[in-house]
Chain A
């Protein structure tokens, strides 16, 4: 296994944030509506992990270092893990485990529908993220995992529909997302120069 310490570092990082938030909650640092705050942070954390995941390939192209690709899968799985926790906190703290109400929300609220679709997409990617699935699916695997671009769009839309009055934060994440997608347009991708490292094949 290449770069074991790097992998371990990412793993610790992924565990660190929710543990830190739990500690903050336990010591009354999150204020009176902590369930909502943790839910929001998990959602944002998932988006950030997704954006970081999507910046691995461009970074590899820019620098030629293969370490970026090694941690890409784990980063994507962290995005999925945060979304699972995000949905659990939504069920517990917002809906008070009222499953009937969840059914209503799932039918009536566009932002919930979009969020649920993004979750299903991430679920499909997480389930097929292992080597066995890669081998089984062959060329189709790559096609399937292009779904991540759609998931990013759905996630950003979900986020946009929650904004009440100030678009600044959303605009920052949306422009990073747009940039990462732009870098994948073949015409653009070909012109991204290699900054450091030897010439080599892009992965």
Chain B
């Protein structure tokens, strides 16, 4: 279960990220524009802190997030030979059915979600159950930047720089009892701000529920994320706290978590309940096991252009086999899809 965690000193993020390009682009922009024109536009982002990534919309980060950001280990986990998905695409092409089923719905509708204050319940088979204010819950952990591939079960994929902390650390903190074998996660249920939860045609039984086996959750790749692209999570990406398990299809990485329960029995997850033949509990990225309705052998790496369709082969465990394959050595992945 080796995981390549680079030291902060040999951070490779800039090799992949267009930060340098971004900064020089800005310089070029400044040089090419007449000074008077710039002066006439006081709103031009010159005053804002330069982002590590291009074209990142600045958010309104809560105080606790700003406090933590300074000590972030940038590029703690990176990907090789992969271009990071543009911020605009990662924030305007989302599946978050609570806010609507179209890919643009979450960006359009999630603004109404109030993420501060936010409280989180940890309960079940733990020595230290409790209800936490989010800022207290995240206090013990240093933020790490993890650049991961994200593979959706719908056969599209992205590469996203998350900010978060390992789930294993959290588990150590709350001390699972000997009976704990699974984790059950729950998303906020609030039909007043979530139009998808008001639809009478929705087949989903709210709230959204996801789960992991305890040893999966302990894997160093599994994180709880609070930010992306060097800023806090936009609402449509699951603010203020979400799970990231990069070797599984995207729907496992549950958003806007309000409850984490340690349980003895395998929890029934939302998609599993809706269509058990299509979505299993494990949902590991696996090019050899098709979704009954479409192939999983290939994926569209976004952005995929009109004249440059970007279709590529899907990798077993989304390319994280070295880190996670051992979790499933005694499992038939055709049956346990």
Interface string of A67-87 (1 = CB under 8 A from B): 000000000000000000000
B103 contact set on A, CB distance < 8 A: 31, 33, 37
How far does the alpha carbon of A137 sit from the alpha carbon of B323 in the complex, in Å?
A: 66
Given contacts A165-B204, A168-B201, A31 and B92 within 8 Å (CB-CB): yes
- Contact status A34-B293, CB under 8 Å: no
**Total residues of chain B contacting the partner, CB 8 A:** 35
Given contacts A31-B92, A101-B295, A92 and B309 within 8 Å (CB-CB): yes
Indicate which residue in A35, A98, A167 contacts B300 across the interface (CB closer than 8 Å): A35
B311 contact set on A, CB distance < 8 A: 93-96, 98
- Contact status B202-A166, CB under 8 Å: yes
> Shortest Cβ distance from A114 into chain B, in angstroms?
12
**Total residues of chain A contacting the partner, CB 8 A:** 31
- Contact status B306-A109, CB under 8 Å: no
> Shortest Cβ distance from B277 into chain A, in angstroms?
12
The residue in A22, A101, A165 that gathers the most chain B C-beta atoms within 10 A of its C-beta is A165
- Contact status B199-A33, CB under 8 Å: no
- Contact status A31-B93, CB under 8 Å: yes
Contacts beyond the supplied A33-B93, A93-B309, A93-B311: 18 A-B pairs with Cβ under 8 Å? A31-B104, A32-B89, A33-B303, A36-B156, A37-B103, A92-B309, A93-B304, A94-B311, A95-B311, A96-B298, A96-B311, A101-B295, A101-B298, A110-B293, A165-B202, A166-B101, A166-B202, A167-B201
Interface string of B101-139 (1 = CB under 8 A from A): 101100000000000000000000000000000000000
Interface residues of B in 303-322 (CB under 8 A from A): 303-306, 309, 311
How far does the alpha carbon of A2 sit from the alpha carbon of B309 in the complex, in Å?
A: 44
Given contacts A25-B306, A105-B295, A165 and B300 within 8 Å (CB-CB): no
A35 contact set on B, CB distance < 8 A: 300, 304, 306, 309
B303 contact set on A, CB distance < 8 A: 31-33
Given contacts A31-B92, A109-B294, A166 and B309 within 8 Å (CB-CB): no
A93 contact set on B, CB distance < 8 A: 300, 304, 309, 311
How far does the alpha carbon of A128 sit from the alpha carbon of B93 in the complex, in Å?
A: 42
Q: Does residue B203 face the partner (Cβ distance < 8 Å to A)?
A: yes
